[in-house]
Structure 1
Amino acid sequence: MGKWQGAAGICFNEDNQLLMVLQGTKEEVKTWSVPSGGKKATENYETCCIREVYEETGYVVDIVKEVLHKNNDVVEVRYFETIMKGGQMMIHDPDELIYEIAWKSKDELLNLTLTFPEDRPFLLSFFQ
């Protein structure tokens, strides 16, 4: 079985809040993450990021630049800084893993239970 590949989008609103989703399977404890998901075979990482942000949040984004590349024996995930260009808050997730969408402040991010706790310092570095 091959390595899992995916993309994640980092998006801020005009109030310097980070777009995040509460996620997990029905059986799991729900945790917070930036919108992210698996790459389809026909997609590049940028297209995957744009699609995942839309599916999980309803927002349409453009890619600004790649800001992190996690790559190990199990996963390869590319994180992209994005800018919102439209849409409205709504879950379109076909996997039914998203339970809530929220804009989180820097102070809120400090105390959230994150899906990937190792991302906290990296995500905090984006706040102005």
Structure 2
Amino acid sequence: MKSWSGSAGICINEHKEILMVKSFGSERWAVPSGGIEEGESPEECCIREIKEETGYDVKVIKKLKVKETTIKNIKVKTYYFRVEKIGDSSGINDPDQIIVEADWKSLSDIKTINHVYPEDLELLLEQYKHLEQSVAFE
């Protein structure tokens, strides 16, 4: 069985919005993600993919989880990271030319938009909970 590994980044801004991307010909949203290249760590992949798909430089805050699933007979392993943006976006520069839009989505958006990976919704909502808790202690 073939296998594929990738990374995804969950980035929440100062307005408590999550950075999401949309592909050409799709009305569904997902967090920025992509395949790990030869010699790249999951963290490096996450940083590169977010830069390509959204134009934002980010730093990895922590590893959240690894999602393992099988899609069309391919073993898929995706590393999820919580990341923080550095500065402003320099614009989408996706070499794969699949990302049409990057946007910040509020908690109410996250609950109502169409997700490419509906199973990610729980993880996204969980990040909001952590956010609320961390803000309470500052």
Which residue of structure 1 lines up, in the alignment, with residue 135 of structure 2?
A: none
TM superposition score normalised by structure 2: 0.85
Q: Map Cα deviations across residues 81-104 of structure 1 (whole Å, 9 max, x no partner).
A: 011112415111011111111000
The one-letter amino acid paired with 2:22 is L
- Aligned-partner Cα distance in 2 for 1:123–1:80: 11
Which residue of structure 2 lines up, in the alignment, with residue 12 of structure 1?
A: 12
Aligned-residue RMSD, C-alpha: 1.4
1:1-128 → structure 2 map (5 Å cutoff): 2-24=2-24, 26=25, 29-73=26-70, 74-88=75-89, 90-127=91-128, 128=132
TM superposition score normalised by structure 1: 0.91
The one-letter amino acid paired with 1:52 is E
The one-letter amino acid paired with 1:7 is S
Structure 1 stretches of 4+ moved >2 Å: none
Identity %: 41
Listed as ranges, the gaps of 5+ residues in structure 2 are 133-138
Higher helix share: 2
Count of aligned pairs between the two proteins: 125
- Aligned-partner Cα distance in 1 for 2:65–2:23: 21
Between structure 1 and structure 2, the one with the greater Rg is: 2
- Aligned-partner Cα distance in 2 for 1:35–1:89: 15
- Aligned-partner Cα distance in 2 for 1:87–1:49: 17
Q: Is the 8 A contact 1:57 1:90 kept in 2?
A: yes
Q: Is the 8 A contact 1:89 1:101 kept in 2?
A: no
